[in-house]
Structure 1
Amino acid sequence: MIGPSKSIIHYVSPGGIVIPLSGHGVIGEPGFWIGNGPDGLGHIDVDSLFDSGALDEGEDYVGGVVDHAELDIPIHILGESNADFQRRKEFLKALIPRDRQGWLCAFTESTGWRMLATRRGSFKPAFGSDPALARGATYDTVFIADKPHSRTKDDEDEWQNKTGAGSGVLYLYPGPEAPGWPKFVFTGPGRLRLMYEGMDVTIPVTLAAGREIFIDTDERVQTIRERASMSADRGRNLWGLMKAQHFPNPIPRGVVSRIRFQVTGASTHTKLWATVPQRHEGLL
């Protein structure tokens, strides 16, 4: 049971092991605890870009660059004995590898759960006494986030051609702080046309029943693949058939996007599912 007015922070290892770090139990009992002065839980750093001209006064703002983030979190590790403390320390360190990502997860009553993929940067002890005798110590732990925006549950919407109209509208909201690139899964039969945010894109394949198309509009990895419905394989790449068509525009932050679509040759089995990530500046 999550208590009122508490920030809950968990770390989830790449293998799925959950380590409570804040908002649980009684401070002073053996375990793991976030210490005083954690840095990076509530913000991200943005480097501003400016353009200047010769003999001009000042500079013109161009935009911002978001690099990787480093969260500096002191973690108290306390055991029932020195041997137990050493075991707990090695256990926690092994759960935060450098070559794979785990998740820092935070909950408050007002924001719900937010998650951030992280890896270990450093794990530096601050010994207050001889570590061979101590039952615990504080470790200044640096978590590195390759992509520093935290995530909440993705927004999603779905349509099925129950009326036989072959057209409809979906609504997606990327949240108030960052734009979002939607993903779609179109289940045949039919040929899909998407219209939103100033774009009008027709997928250049007519699907048979039992086939689906996966569409990722992210400008860095735009993908269109055909495969059998509910299949886990990668399927056939359709990007070469798109010619000059692509998805240049994300859904703007703070906007509920109205995604219109038409399906030629649809049946009552035709479906369209859509989702967009909701990203935030900070876990708390």
Structure 2
Amino acid sequence: MIGPSKSIIHYVSPGGIVIPLSGHGVIGEPGFWIGNGPDGLGHIDVDSLFDSGALDEGEDYVGGVVDHAELDIPIHILGESNADFQRRKEFFKALIPRDRQGWLCAFTESTGWRMLATRRGSFKPAFGSDPAIARGATYDTVFIADKPHSRTKDDEDSWQNKTGAGSGVLYLYPGPEAPGWPKFVFTGPGRLRLMYEGMDVTIPVTLAAGREIFIDTDERVQTIRERASTSADRGRNLWGLMKAQHFPNPIPRGVVSRIRFQVAGASTQTKLWATVPQRHEGLL
């Protein structure tokens, strides 16, 4: 008989150091693990907005605001001696800076890996006994997530013009919690036209073979740049040629979106790749 599987939780520092916190090792051996009563691993707090009017009964719901999140996670640290415990404590605290983000990563068999970018809010000792005797202590650790939705592997789809059709459809899913802004990499030859969510945008450059265009539709940093497909530089900015064309709409949350496209002058070398972040509520 196979017993129940454990949730696996890791912390990954900004520098890439991985600290197992749950699901590995044996509690009671020197190391780090999550104590009792963690809060914030499975939900997001949403502030509801209401609008009221004079003499109205009650209020009308307007929407919700998702602010930053605070995950209150007790971390128990145990050393082989009191001096070893103190070294481990300082080592762990240094891995959670306030000015840079690391990652809390969690795995279950039903959800797979989920990740949340976090920084240190506080790291307070909760001494239940003299740590000099116990060689360890629990620290009430608050991880702050600027963007509280957890991430899974980005969804992606791709197309290559193997049949000579010069058109097709890609499918992207941004997850159940938030709309998504796709990114595209178009490899020539050809001229690309994208059609989805009420938009019809033609990229105003016909690519030669061996050239590519990178497109980021995020409304905060919309980017269209062209370069050689083997190049590592940022390439040429094409916004000046767009003539007021842009991407005003994301793809909606909770559904798989169809990204229609056409390529004029395509060959068998022509390719289109697309990706979008997937966001979820909670790490577990």
Q: TM-score range by the shorter chain?
A: over 0.9
| Displacement of 1:40 | 0.6
RMSD over aligned Cα atoms? 1.9
Q: Which moved more, 1:140-149 or 1:217-226?
A: 217-226
The whole-number CA distance in structure 1 between the counterparts of 2:37 and 2:111 is: 21
Take 2:54 and 2:32, find their aligned partners in 1: how far apart are those partners?
Answer: 56
1:234-258 Cα distance to aligned partner (Å, 9 max, x none): 2222223222222122111121111
Query: For the residues of structure 2 that align with 1:205 and 1:2, how far apart are their CA atoms?
Result: 58
Please tell me whether residue 55 in structure 1 is matched to residue 63 in structure 2: no
Q: Deviations over 1:109-167 (max 9, x none)?
A: 00000000111111111123344444000001111111111000111100011112211
Aligned to 1:152: 152
Question: Which 5+ residue runs of structure 2 have no aligned equivalent?
Answer: none
1:76-127 residue CA offsets vs partner (Å, 9 max, x unmatched): 0001100110111111111111111111000000000000011111111112
The number of aligned residues is 284
Cα displacement string for residues 2-25 of structure 1 (whole angstroms, at most 9, x for unaligned residues): 985211000011111110000111
Q: 1:148 to 1:3 in 2, by over 3 A?
A: farther
Question: Are residues 3 and 195 of structure 1, via their aligned partners in 2, closer, same or farther at CA, if it must alter by over 3 Å?
Answer: farther
Q: Where do 5+ consecutive residues of structure 1 fail to align? A: none
TM-score, with structure 1 as normaliser: 0.95
In the aligned structure 1, how far is the partner of 2:238 from the partner of 2:53? 44
- With the length of structure 2 as denominator, give the TM-score of the two structures: 0.95
| Residue aligning to 2:17 | 17
The answer to whether the 8 Å contact 1:4/1:109 transfers is no
Say if 1:197 and 1:249, in contact at 8 Å, map to a contact too. Answer: yes
- The equivalent of 2:169 in structure 1 is 169
Bigger CA drift: 105-114 or 237-246? 237-246
**3-state secondary structure, aligned to 2:92:** helix
Q: Secondary structure at the match of 2:91?
A: helix
Is the contact between residue 251 and residue 257 of structure 1 (CA under 8 Å) also seen in structure 2? yes
* SS, match of residue 137 in structure 2: strand
Deviations 1:172-211 (A, max 9, x none): 1112222211111111111110011121111111112211
Q: Which moved more, 1:212-221 or 1:240-249?
A: 240-249
Runs of 4+ in structure 1 off by over 6 angstroms are none
Aligned mates of 1:86, 1:133 — CA distance in 2: 12
Give the deviation of 1:55 after TM superposition.
3.1
CA contact (8 A) 1:180 1:277 kept: yes
Q: Distance in 2 between matches of 1:199 and 1:3?
A: 51
**Correspondence 1:21-170 to 2 at 5 A:** 21-170=21-170
Q: For 1:19-77, what per-residue CA distance to the aligned partner results, in whole angstroms no more than 9, with x for missing partners?
A: 00001111111110100111110011111222233333332222221111111100000
Q: Provide the C-alpha distance between the structure 1 equivalents of 2:54 and 2:247, rounded to a whole number of angstroms.
A: 37
Identity of aligned residues (%): 98
CA 1:36–1:52: 2 relative to 1, 3 Å:
same
